[in-house]
Amino acid sequence: MTADARHERGVASRLHAFNRYEIKYLLPVTEVAPLREELARRMDRDAHCPVGGYGVWSVYYDTPALRFYWEKIEGLKFRRKLRIRHYGDVSTVTDDSPVHVEIKQRVNRVTQKRRLRLPYLAARALCDRRVEVPHAEHERPFVHEVLDLLVRLDLRATAITGYQREALVGRDQDTGLRVTFDRRIRGRDRDFHFGTPTPENRFIVPPRLAVMEVKVNERVPYWITDLMARRNLTVVRVSKYCQSVEAYGRAPRSAFHVPDDEPSPQPIPTDRAQEAAPAHVR
């Protein structure tokens, strides 16, 4: 099981929910290592994060008119997204692989997540064929909410994103703190099965850049704020889903789009070796 899967599950139940604040920064990949070393003075590497990180892949669902995309671009105070997420090496995905069906929503500045762990075949039946999959009684409200969104809004798979993630966790009084670094951020607008052989992906954030996220339950520790200020890092609004939609011309590029390094990025093969997570952390 990966670091994120462990951290966000929290309990043995397949269903989990939590609230937190998320703050994002954009930085050159060359600054990741020195920043990670500085953070390591007060944080620990997530025990379930292998050296080099692990792959995170998500299929996002949206309306034909891209309602969720535009809600993000327009900065609505309440907005939702539906996705299926897989942690680890997509080349090994089977119908039985565990994935998470997740509703992520924003209420003012608070990010709320509710997710249900399912076998990949069941997750696709729920989200792609709108079939009520077997579930426990306490999971019923979530399953019905997912079905309601899918049917009422006519949601369908719209974009897929993937990246390599490293994770640090706070210690002592900062136990609610989590910092992640995402690099090699790619996406595509077709072939939405995680295990599609040799899928073609594009960089949706220039490969010279990484996205750093600071995640806290209540407030950001003062020393994190000071560290970001000393390194001249500024908070950004960047959505990997929106980046993927824009990279393939599905919508006009917003004012918050990260500029390309090249005028027309070329499809690139998935780097299986770097995305693999050891079996003991999946």
Select from 146, 124, 122 the least CA-distant residue to 134. 122
pTM equals 0.85
Strand, coil or helix: what is 103?
A: strand
Which helix (H) or strand (E) element contains residue 122?
A: helix 120-128
Residue 151's pLDDT is 97
Distance between CA atoms of residues 25 and 87, nearest Å: 22
Low-confidence ranges of the chain (pLDDT < 50): 7-11, 262-282
Q: Who's near 3: CB < 8 A, 6+ residues apart?
A: 46, 47, 48, 49, 54, 165, 167, 281
Residues pairing with 213 in the sheet = 24, 180
Residue pair 86/57 in contact by the 8 Å Cβ criterion: yes
Cβ atoms within 10 Å, residue 172: 7
Residue 9's pLDDT is 44
Residue 264's pLDDT is 40
Domain ranges of the chain: 3-281
Residue 145's pLDDT is 96
Q: Who's near 196: CB < 8 A, 6+ residues apart?
A: none
Residue 256's pLDDT is 54
Q: Is 214 left (phi over 0), alpha (psi -120 to 50) or beta?
A: beta
Residue 273's pLDDT is 34
Residue 132's pLDDT is 94
CATH architecture of 3-281: Alpha-Beta Barrel (3.20)
Residue 276's pLDDT is 40
How far does Cα 140 stand from its chain's mean position?
A: 24
Distance between CA atoms of residues 25 and 27, nearest Å: 6
